[in-house]
Amino acid sequence: MLAWPYGTPKVMSSYDWSSQQGTSAGTPTPTNDQGQTLPVSCGDGWVCEHRWPGIANMVEFRNVTQGVATVDYWWDNGNNQIAFARGDRGFVAINNENTDLSQTLMTGLPPGTYCNVLSLPPNGVHPEDGRLEPTLASCETELIEVDAFGNANIEVPPYQSLALHIEAQL
């Protein structure tokens, strides 16, 4: 959803819901004496999906590729492995199979070393403006080398994904 250039995605966050039959009570919202909602912190019943590293980092991917309305260099294996570029700003590979995706693919990206932003920890952000701040230490096992022609050897384990963008170039 966040990788594809269509529409306006909305990332929702939620709370745990009791599975007891007949109950309509969810996690209570903290309020002050005047009934105004107080800031909610994750935990205590609040799930906060928008803060999960994979979701938060794909929001950054969406922002970096904003304005690129095309999908380029589409690849698929005829089954459940796909990859595509978002112009020269981003690249995604998705493996929804029980075997590795292992291909040399055109990324459309400039030559260089990139971090798979789906592997970045939640604290891999710039302290001043919140941008992703990839470092060798934060993604040392998820480095992808793009050659002078825009190609890269892409390895994605079963049921995993990979996302690269120009702001995640080391």
Note whether 92 and 154 are within 8 A (CB): no
Higher per-residue confidence, 109 vs 133: 109
- Is residue 26 domain-resident? no
The token duo for 43 is 């935990």
- Is residue 47 domain-resident? no
Q: How high is the pLDDT of residue 153?
A: 98
- Is residue 104 domain-resident? yes
- Is residue 61 domain-resident? no
Q: How many domains does the chain have?
A: 1
Bridge-based pairing state of the strands 101-106 and 143-146? unpaired
Residue 109 has pLDDT above 60, yes or no: yes
Higher per-residue confidence, 148 vs 56: 148
Q: How high is the pLDDT of residue 75?
A: 98
Identity of the amino acid at 63: N
Residue 50 has pLDDT above 90, yes or no: no
Place of tokens 């199979």: 97
Residues 143-160 have pLDDT tens digits of 999 999 999 999 999 999
CA-to-CA distance for 103 and 122, rounded, in angstroms?
28
Is residue 43 left, alpha or beta, with left meaning phi > 0 and alpha meaning psi from -120 to 50? Answer: left
CATH number of the domain within which 96 lies? 2.60.40.1180
Q: How high is the pLDDT of residue 141?
A: 64
Helix ranges restricted to H, 29-169:
53-64
Higher per-residue confidence, 37 vs 77: 77
**Least confident stretch, 4-13, 132-141, 161-170:** 132-141
How many C-beta atoms surround the C-beta of residue 29 within 10 A? 11
Q: How high is the pLDDT of residue 30?
A: 74
Residues 7-18 have pLDDT tens digits of 787 777 666 666
Confidence of residue 170 (pLDDT cuts 50, 70, 90): confident
- Is residue 51 domain-resident? no
Domain hosting 154: range is 69-168
Tell me the β-bridge partners of 114.
Answer: 144, 169
DSSP 80: S
- Is residue 137 domain-resident? yes
- Is residue 62 domain-resident? no
Terminal alpha carbon distance of the chain: 26
- Is residue 17 domain-resident? no
Q: Give buried/exposed letters for 72-91 (b at 16+ CB in 10 A, else e).
A: ebeeeeeeebbbbbbbebbb
Q: How high is the pLDDT of residue 2?
A: 80
Note whether 123 and 166 are within 8 A (CB): no
